[in-house]
Structure 1
């Protein structure tokens, strides 16, 4: 039985390596307490986010007036992708009550290593004919307020224990399979934690957003990072499947004598059940549609779609000043929630 599981995992990994999809690096644009989807116009939102993508990102981002393609640079490797992607931030909680932000690294795997300066990796996975997102489209995966792991689909939001600091040493099978968990692993054998967030692949075909930022989209009949299955009649339009992967390097926090009861939490002071991601579409023109139609693959130039891979020194240099200025690095007295963060 154990051998069968190993073989199955290897086959899943091989399938992922062979599947045509965009897979690219996005370095950190900024770590900031703003959220133009959930809290538009608010400075010092309830929790901290790490944001990547186009540098026109701002507190408001009014979908009627804001044009992401006006960004002068993007922290993602494809020059034509001015979208914004963001997630909550993972912190280590010391038993003395102080917190420190967990750093991120790039992600390897069977498709090859990606170079990140912080940030995350983004996938666009097609399954058959898909319709690219429209200008102004936005959505959320997961819930920042959820505390119950049973309310999370483990095939869409999960964490993996990575027992090496070598991100290119692939661990396990396809995302959100095997021993992956909704909860954040708390195990000294884990040197890194890979967070996976998979977004819905079905759209109602009408609304670019919805009051809860989720009702206009739906998950398909498929499971995991497969590009999605059949869409329900209520949401008949098949979208490219977006997936985020974040590699949290916890290797400097493995002295268990320093651990709080929950040593690793997200910036809402909640565990993996509250993991979530936000997305605002901003590809130039019809480049994403062409990339999907022409089966553009991985982190490569694709002349058929007119998309161009930037070198790491170019996208790493695309950054933005905090719009809610505060200290987010080093040891903090408390999580950045409510009042401005202060050093411990």
Structure 2
């Protein structure tokens, strides 16, 4: 146990040193809207197969034309950097009660060695460079993970993972680097967990040609590196190194620690909105930084969630980015206890 504690402290110190050297952005994005839309996988469709939480610029729409500059179309962003009008979205985690009803698991911002981030739902975003990187271009989009996967062995744990956070205070660092041996592909089901940290790490190698691909993945590849290290050497098929994007979500499961509430039929207490566990965790990304601001941020060592005059980056206070909201386009009440998971017809209250 002592060695584990020392290892965690050493890892935290390394991350702090990396941040101090100015080689990553880390910032908060609050929920813009929670709804069943997905312009990447199901463009033009309302009431898509599962529920998403979306963050970022308010130009987000059911159908997003990649030829349009969403940075120019957005009037606000729910992310702390004013210049970031990108959209990021993930599935929503639900708790399943033994009576068969479901409720969304609440979220909190993350603490840790780089300081506390404040979110109204949503997630924390990292852009981690490894040496010289090329920023994404207007119209770029990608997907990490597989929303239909039910086999944990098909997931590389160093890319998509979950951690049982045994502290009720998200500021208290628990464990080592993201997606290490203390993490699991499956969503932890342990009453000791006060929170569950979900991590999604995107690939860092681009083919240099295609802004998207039919599966939203094959134009990208993972490098030889592992985990949140900025990515390793790129294969010849995907030679262009881009910033490593990482999503970090803190699901607060404290109110669901009583196992008397848990299903007795052998099903899991925590699932994503596809009604599948951690093997189906996934993240979507649509680039929307203003002009060349992201490239300048990478070139000038802009750091964490701090304003960066060299790159023209300015920041908002939480009250400002929390206020950036969008009305549901697929209108349904997804708050409170639901009779069943909203997968087909509209959500039904329990």
Same fold flag (TM > 0.5) = yes
The match for 1:16 is 15
- Give the Å deviation of 1:310: 0.6
The match for 1:85 is 88
From 328, 334, 338, the counterpart of 1:332: 338
Distance 1:236 1:306 in 2: 28
1:288 aligned counterpart, secondary structure: helix
The match for 1:60 is 63
Distance 2:125 2:208 in 1: 23
Give yes or no for contact 1:69–1:283 (8 Å, CA) kept in 2: no
1:256 corresponds to 2:259: yes
- Give the Å deviation of 1:275: 0.2
The match for 2:319 is 313
The match for 2:278 is 272
2:199 aligned counterpart, secondary structure: strand
1:239-258 Cα distance to aligned partner (Å, 9 max, x none)? 00000000000111111011
The match for 2:74 is 71
From 143, 146, 156, the counterpart of 1:143: 146
The match for 1:211 is 214
Distance 1:86 1:325 in 2: 18
Distance 1:99 1:275 in 2: 18
From 122, 126, 130, the counterpart of 2:133: 130
Aligned length: 343
* Runs of 4+ displaced beyond 4 Å: none
- Give the Å deviation of 1:7: 2.6
- Give the Å deviation of 1:15: 1.3
- Give the Å deviation of 1:11: 1.7
Superposition RMSD in Å: 0.9
TM-score (norm 2): 0.97
- Give the Å deviation of 1:62: 1.4
- Give the Å deviation of 1:66: 5.3
1:161 corresponds to 2:164: yes
Distance 1:67 1:48 in 2: 22
1:304 aligned counterpart, secondary structure: helix
From 30, 33, 36, the counterpart of 2:39: 36
1:301 corresponds to 2:301: no
- Give the Å deviation of 1:8: 2.6
The match for 1:94 is 97
Distance 1:231 1:66 in 2: 28
Distance 1:192 1:67 in 2: 34
Identify the range of structure 1 (214-223 vs 8-17) with the bigger mean alpha-carbon deviation.
8-17
1:37 aligned counterpart, secondary structure: coil
From 19, 28, 42, the counterpart of 1:25: 28
TM-score (norm 1): 0.98
Give yes or no for contact 1:172–1:178 (8 Å, CA) kept in 2: no
Distance 1:127 1:149 in 2: 29
Distance 2:214 2:299 in 1: 31
The match for 1:173 is 176
Distance 1:165 1:38 in 2: 36
2:268 aligned counterpart, secondary structure: strand
- Give the Å deviation of 1:6: 3.1
- Give the Å deviation of 1:164: 2.1
The match for 2:289 is 283
1:313-340 Cα distance to aligned partner (Å, 9 max, x none)? 0000000000000011100011111100
- Give the Å deviation of 1:236: 0.2
Give yes or no for contact 1:12–1:173 (8 Å, CA) kept in 2: yes
Distance 1:264 1:12 in 2: 29
